Amino acid sequence: MSSPDGNRLDGEIRTVDGIRHLVGTATTPEGTREPLDYPVDSLTVRNDSIRFRFAPASFLVEGKCSDTTRIDARYEVDLRPSFQLIRGVGEFHRGGLR
């Protein structure tokens, strides 16, 4: 998943000992890579839609199933006041975010 300004989110949701984690990498437009391994704070599945949030960076991901293996999604990271609001789009498949 990526934003128009070049931020990128690659990862997957894993369940370890009954706790969901988002594991992956966030990449800035400058190429700085931040490893992600954060618990999913909330996960809601309603009909063909999914929404989850994970901390500490306050990522929110929302999406809608487009077929049995893919969800078209958008994400938002609110790091204000230190940084501007980041919004991006992409998709995630069984096995990971893209």
pLDDT value of residue 31:
92
Question: How far are the Cα atoms of 3, 17, 47, 75, 85 from residue 50, in angstroms, in the given order?
Answer: 19, 22, 8, 12, 21
Instruction: For 2-32, write each residue's pLDDT tens digit.
Output: 888 888 888 888 888 988 888 888 898 999 9
pTM higher than 0.75? no
CB atoms closer than 10 angstroms to residue 70: 14
Q: Which is more confident, 47 or 95?
A: 47
Domain housing 26: 8-97
- The total number of structural domains in the chain stands at 1
Q: Is 1 within a domain?
A: no
